[in-house]
Chains A and B, each alone.
Chain A
Amino acid sequence: MGKFHLVTAVWGKRFLDRYMATTLPTILSKNNIPEFSQANDVEYFIYTTLQEQEYLVTSSLIMELKKYIPLHIVTNHYHPEKAKYDRVTSMYLAALKNSIEQKAATIFLPPDGIWSDGTLVRISELAAEGYRAVLSDGLRVVKEDFMPLFEGEFPRSDSGSISVSTRKLMKLAISCLHPYEASIMWSAPVMHDVPFRLHWPVKGEGMVTRGFTILPIFIHPETEVDGWVGALDHGLVEVAINDPTKIYYCYGTDEFAVVSIDELGFSAANYKATSKNQRILKIARWAYRNATPQNLEAVKRPFRRNFVEPTETRWNRVERISQKNIDTVLSCRKLLVISDAMVDHGANKAAAVLAYALNNLGITRWHKEPFPQTIIAPSDTAFRNISESNLDDLLRPSERKRFLRQFFRYVIVGIRSADEISKDFGVTVEVGDIDVEDWRLHIIDSVLNY
């Protein structure tokens, strides 16, 4: 029997209404709280404001909830002086500390989520298998479009609960995607400025998702979590879990599904038209600036959102394609990190050539190997015998093939030391053995003979 704390942070009419219309009825379905609470020691903590407390305690759904598990409404961790997301984080942090103190695991139930029936039971099974974090991806839908369909498809029981099957939920959700989700489809003509996950459509069956940041729905920290300052899906897992084998990445919505509702919104200015190359760079650039090591690990795992029985060959094909696309993005990200290192070590011209090639010559199309590599970069003095006009000529798009032939002489698969480079290419290494993550960079004093 596991010990669990369910945690929701909610305040304000907008989210309270959503909580009452979605989260609470769906977690009260048979295979969520009723079944889950029978087999486990469960308590529910709602973090809210004093004002909202009165509304909550008089609600009939809350009365229903209290039939199954003890409920605690906590109001002393609301800090109105903080920014909105910091307020949520401080509530979650307080909840986590409380859970750690009481030796309980935490399940986060954000107030705008719809949970498929059986979610909590599945999480308790995974916890029993020894996992300390369960990560699963939510999907944002447009509230105005989604809610009428949802209410029609999933009627409330007499007690007010709503039982939601995963595939029906996915079909509804995918038909009412939020513009954010639609814009991060790999093939979309526009892309949001913050592409922290990506989708690939599987015609007539659903879509594959790969996310850099994935929501830790369940977490049982191995350590203290004081160092965590970010959002729930950014940084918490790294702080709380030392052993990566204890992190469970859900494989798809057949396991369980979470959908979050949101208004259409006003953020049209955050969506930009993109070509394929720009899109790769945009995601790579976002990852280069923001992704943590755990995020880079998470994105390698495909997540299925299917609304019918999946045709394996079809899904495997899309997953392979998505893997190639992500490899390209990650490789491109690595080149961005490398270009930074080049500038730091005085190879400005080489960095400029690399940046130009990334943006205008689409080198990512050829350079998609994700495994460790060694990059050799000529220093600025190495370029002294090559006029800028010659370099400009070499970088012309019409000369792309010639450029690529030269470029790949500076990229060696596998890790090579400075001595090896010096010996193999007959050059002097000015700054050698610069480790850039799992790749290596050497700055040499001349350009390679062609």
Chain B
Amino acid sequence: MVKGRVVCVIDSNTELDRAFDVVVTEVEQGQLENAFNSVNNLCLLYPQSDRVWQVYGVIASKLERFEEGRRGFCRAVSLAPFSAQLYLDLSQMYENQDKLELARACLKTAISLEPSKQENRQRYAQFLIKNKDFDEAKSVLDFSQYPNDKFRDDYWKRINDFKYNKNFAELLSLGQELLLKGVRDPRLNYLMAVAFQNFNGIEEVITQLREVVVGMPAFAGAHKGLADYLKQSVILQKIVKLPLSEIFERSETKDFLTQLGEAESHYRISLEYDPYEFDTYVYYGNLMRQLGKFKKALKLYQSAVAIQPDNANAHYNLASLYLELNQNDPALNEINVTIELDTSFSEAHFVRAHLLSLLGKNLDAGTCFLSSMKFQPKFSTEAYFLN
């Protein structure tokens, strides 16, 4: 059972905190169901508050509603990926469910975030001893690995200031200096990836995110980001390669399939740690579709629709995939939903036009083509260009 820590998150007098007071009182009085309903309402009102989702996760876990608890913690982690406590809560929950690999990754991530906190290390060591990994436990408790907190806090404050002020050049300069000094901090790698992203340095982003997923293996967003960039890098390089062969052969070849395999595995891991992230299903689905794995793509797109049934893009993806698979009836259903949700969706009118022409309704198809031309294209699917 996850221990409740509801009280510790309340520290000011905002409207949200007053709402939390009600939840805390209900928890203290043992009215967990009421508390759960209250916090559920707060999640709808404050979907961008990691604290709300954290409390949702804690209370759901106390009620042994582990799926909802996981959802709460996953949302909280996606909003506040550098909060060690969230990973500790998640690890406890996974341990209770005997999902030991996930629990272990969460503990490792928590220690990467707060490497000097002795109680976290002890907790991880206990977990390792329980699972008979004595060497790793010994290494975790090795005091020589504890970094200098003051130094760490100082550079983190500076790096964060650079990020806040969008001074990415300075951020990178300081980051590279710290890495040369041997500093190992996945938070630093993550913010450097963000800075490189600002400079369009796709290969550098990939390098930094690779470090992040090693240090923070339970950070689903980093796995997803890494997979996205691996995939994009392949697409962009392939776009260049083919037409140039008409002028002259390019000698270098890249191992695209290995890179795409790596992307696939990171999407999979990302979903293991956060099965509630809409974008991951869509991008993972796109990759599977691009690789010709249509069944898997279909499943992923369907999951995306289940998570966000009001999202026109999700229905559009599904419709266009059904069309590709020659399943015209479900495709038409999905595209009608898409247009209902967003009448100015140019590409959806285009897909509908194709479907209608396949069904022999050519004049209606023409009207849809006209509608498609009326609106600005706005939705980008990636090039189907990887096979």
Distance in Å: Cβ of A375 to nearest Cβ of chain B: 16
User: Is A189 a contact of B365 with CB atoms below 8 Å?
Assistant: no
Is B30 among interface residues, defined by CB-CB distance under 8 A? no
Docked CA distance A223–B246 (Å):
45
A-B contact pairs, 12 of them (CB 8 A): A188-B239, A188-B242, A203-B246, A262-B200, A265-B236, A273-B383, A273-B385, A289-B376, A355-B370, A359-B369, A391-B363, A392-B361
Cross-chain contact A268 with B357 (CB below 8 angstroms): no
Contact B203 A355 (CB under 8 A): no
Is A392 a contact partner of B362 (Cβ separation < 8 A)? yes
Do B239 and A201 touch (CB < 8 A)? no
Give the residues in chain B near A273, CB-CB below 8 Å.
Answer: 383-385
A271 within 8 A of B: yes
Tell me the complex Cα distance, A14–B367, Å.
Answer: 47
List 7 additional contacts besides A204-B248, A396-B362; criterion CB under 8 Å: A13-B169, A189-B385, A190-B385, A268-B231, A272-B383, A353-B363, A392-B363
Contacts of B248 in A (CB 8 A): 175, 204
A285 within 8 A of B: yes
- For B189-214 the 0/1 string (1 means CB < 8 A from A) is 00000000101111100000000000
Q: Is A96 an interface residue (CB 8 A)?
A: no
Q: Is B328 an interface residue (CB 8 A)?
A: no
Which listed residue, B202, B362, B383, touches A391 by the CB 8 Å rule? B362
Docked-complex contact B357 and A360, CB < 8 angstroms: yes
Contacts of B180 in A (CB 8 A): none
Determine if A299 is an interface residue (Cβ-Cβ < 8 Å): no
Number of A-B contacts (CB under 8 A): 150
Assess the B246–A392 pair: CB atoms within 8 A.
Answer: no
Say yes or no: A203 contacts B247, CB within 8 Å: yes
**CB proximity of A401 to chain B, nearest CB, Å:** 16
Asked if A395 contacts B362 (CB within 8 A), the reply is yes
B176 interface contact, C-beta 8 A: no
Cβ A356 vs Cβ B363 within 8 A:
yes
Tell whether B232 is near chain A: CB-to-CB under 8 Å. yes
Contact present for B373 and A285 (CB under 8 Å):
yes
CB contacts (< 8 Å) of B200 on chain A: these are: 262-266
Report which of A189, A271, A391 forms a contact with B382, defined as CB distance below 8 A.
A271
Which of B200, B236, B248, B382 neighbours the largest number of chain A CB atoms within 10 Å of its CB?
Answer: B236
Are A187 and B381 CB-contacts (below 8 A) given A179-B239, A265-B236, A285-B373? no
Other-chain residue from B232, B236, B369, B383 in contact with A358 (beta carbon distance below 8 A)? B369
Q: Which residues of B contact A268 (CB under 8 A)?
A: 231-232, 235-236, 382-383
Instruction: Say if the beta carbon of B105 comes within 8 Å of chain A.
Output: no
Chain A CB within 8 A of B243 CB? yes
* Pairwise interchain contact B380-A193, C-beta atoms closer than 8 A: yes
Chain B residues near A202 (CB-CB < 8 A): 247
Q: Smallest Cβ distance from B120 to chain A, in angstroms?
A: 35
Closest to B172 in A: A13
* Chain A residues with CB under 8 A of B202: 263-266
Q: How far is the CA of A190 from the CA of B384 in the complex (A)?
A: 8
Minimum C-beta distance from B205 to chain A (A):
8
Most buried by B among A175, A193, A352: A352
Q: Beyond A14-B169, A188-B242, A263-B201, is A269–B382 a contact (Cβ under 8 Å)? A: yes
